[in-house]
A and B are shown apart, each in its own frame.
Chain A
Amino acid sequence: MSARSKLPAQGPKPPFWRDPAKRALAFQLVLVAAVAAFLLTIIGNTQDNLAARGITTGFGFLTNTSGFGIVQSLIDYSSQSTYGRTFVVGLLNTLLVSGLGVLAATIIGFTVGIARLSPNWLIARLANGYIEIFRNIPLLLQIFFWYFAVLRAMPSARESLSLGEVIFLNVRGLYLPQPMFESGFGLIPLALAIAIVASIALLIWNKRRHEATGQRLPAGWIALALIVGLPLGVLVVTGVPVTWDIPELGGFNFRGGITVIPEFLALWLALSIYTASFIAEIVRSGIQAISHGQTEAAQALSLPQGLVLRLVVVPQALRVIIPPLTSQYLNLIKNSSLATAIGYPDLVSVFAGTTLNQTGQAIEVIAMTMAVYLTISLLVSMFMNWFNARVALVER
């Protein structure tokens, strides 16, 4: 091609419609114009429809006072806050349950997936049973099960199950003591940050030294000791500037401490357990995709079993595991919108539910909600694609 393009043009230039590059460009422009015209028609049409029906439009409602309460909020919220703030509260609640759900589903999924391959007959069958039960029951039913069936079995507030009189569990949720930080506590996160930075530096230095000299320190243990020990040391030196706010039974319910509402527990459990059953199968298939010759070759090099897994099997399995794992994470995040069925105040329940109804501005609210899920999903995909590219097998 390059040699040919250097040749002088022969004869008259062909007309532009015979030039494939220009023709393609023209088609692209026509397509873009058509899509733009379609979108403009829809937007214009919607505005005409709404105006004709006397329905208020626009995003001005976001600054109005909401006037309703929300049971769980990660930021300050009261019924005096704005509708805009209900959006943030709902979004954070969605992110909380999705984030913790992804974490728990990954841990359970990897554990069960590896257990499924265990040579121990009982463990393998148990893992298999778990997978077949939980991935074949609809998620909504599982949420209802954890919420209604398990909730009804819980004792009332006055008969709470307690663990050492500091942690309580009842039908209203799980009550944990809350640490109250006094002055001087700021040093501890600082110590933790220093320990983490030092550990990373140590690990990098250790790796380089290992490559250069073949010698190495047990850096992992040193790092762990640093991360645990340094903040603890500071804690002791500063005289433990923490008191615990222990929940106490008063009036209807426990006051003080941290309350984990049962809606959250039910949704989190259901999402984690359901998604974990899919992840377990993905992990199993990923490990089984590695040919046995790889393991044997590693064993022939007399690598210990742990290193065989860590250095040979897992890195190769990951590139099979990660793409379908991404889909499971995205499913979990989107499934968290089922929260509205049991009254967990997520984005759909709070914003696309109550706020939509109180303001009546369905199109704006639904559009914002869909945009949020789209954005979260795209960000997760981007991250997982980057991670996938990192672990992908580099073929030489």
Chain B
Amino acid sequence: MSYKNNKLVMLTSVAALVLGATSTAQAATLDDVKQRGVVQCGVSDGLPGFSAPNDQGEWQGIDVDVCRAVAAAVFGDSEAVRYVPLNAVERFTALQSGEVDVLSRNTTWTTTRDTTLGLNFAGVTFYDGQGFLISSDLGISSVQELDGAAICIQAGTTTELNVADYFRAHEMQFDPIVFDTSEQTVGGFEAGRCDVLTSDTSQLAALRIQLSDPSGAMILPEVISKEPLGPVVRQGDDQWFNIVKWSLFAMLNAEELGISSENVDEMTNSENPNIARLLGQDGNYGEGMGLSADWAYNIISQVGNYAEIYDRNVGLNSPLEIERGVNALWTEGGLQYAPPVR
């Protein structure tokens, strides 16, 4: 019954905003985090590949690895994270009120969220798009044939808006069946309450393997929106914003430079100046963020480079088996591009 707990989180978050003492705009999140000894990281309430507990109860996923990277950069210990599961509706309030330090929860970067909620998006961990999961025996091959369908959606997501826009633009009708959590959304789809389940395509891949009969459902080829997913921090603390942003960039740069968790120790002797700068052998690029010189070394040795976290969580080494596609590095025809360390 996580449902009741979720409402509690929501109410306490609102209460914190109402009753909490006025904090200065330049609140030093880094100092708070160091004093506390853990990074508080907002994750999803269970989405395999992105953030979900495994059978030992440890959180795993690409979003979880972003949290671990931040912890590795700050403490040199990727395990110094406390995970706070949040549903789509509570996530921003929890971040705004300071219940979490960073929100790494398959959250789409949009104008409203970036400009009116007092939040900043610190980059893109995964370029996604909205798709449709449908029961195979309906014999439907395109979104265009979905006129009049009942569609299961999770509340408070950009998907809810995209699907309304798409159906209106194509002059089609649909019945939105809106659930609180992704678990309930899948439940509704499995019970036959709706014909279609819509969400980001990566989530559909994850939800499909959770179905009792994954082969009975298929993902339609169309992708109807842009969904850049990335970590979010509070506005007004540029130091913390930089730490999260560069933790992500460090993993991308590591992949580009061929540094992985396996060869990072050999790489510390590398003659390549880009590698030497990233691993803190030449200059101290952590200093400007209030971190030690080996911040990126800690991330790469404990969490890995972007290719490693992608492959083990959502890529071909995972049950989701999502191709790199647009999430490949720019050097390989994808969109993932990190500014240089210098």
Contacts and interface: CB of A to CB of B under 8 A. Distances in A.
Interface stretch (B35-43, B54-62, B143-151, B327-335): B143-151
Closest CB pairs A-B (n = 10): A357-B156, A79-B164, A54-B118, A53-B118, A55-B118, A56-B116, A360-B117, A69-B176, A251-B148, A171-B192
Contacts of A360: 92-93, 112-113, 116-117
Contacts of B93: 360, 362
A296 interface: no
Interface in A53-105: 53-56, 67-71, 78-80
Interface residues of A, number: 50
A354 B150 contact: no
A343 B180 contact: yes
Interface string A27-69: 0000000000000001001101110111110000000000111
Contacts of A148: 187, 191
A363 interface: yes
Given A49-B20, A69-B167, 7 more contacts: A53-B234, A54-B235, A71-B150, A171-B191, A253-B175, A353-B178, A363-B18
Contacts of A342: 179, 184
A11 interface: no
B236 A54 contact: yes
Contacts of B24: 52
A340 B89 CA distance: 12
Interface string A359-396: 11011001000000000000000000000000000000
22 contacts: A42-B19, A46-B17, A52-B24, A56-B116, A56-B117, A68-B164, A69-B160, A78-B168, A151-B191, A154-B192, A251-B149, A340-B155, A341-B3, A343-B155, A343-B179, A343-B188, A345-B178, A354-B178, A357-B155, A362-B92, A366-B11, A366-B14
Contact of A68 (B116, B161, B177, B236): B161
A155 B143 CA distance: 25
Interface in B1-60: 1, 3-4, 10-11, 13-14, 17-25
Contacts of A232: none
Contacts of A255: 148
Nearest to A357: B156
Given A55-B96, A55-B118, A140-B3, A341 B177 contact: no
A331 interface: no
A49 to B, nearest CB: 6
B17 A341 contact: no
B23 A52 contact: yes
B165 interface: yes
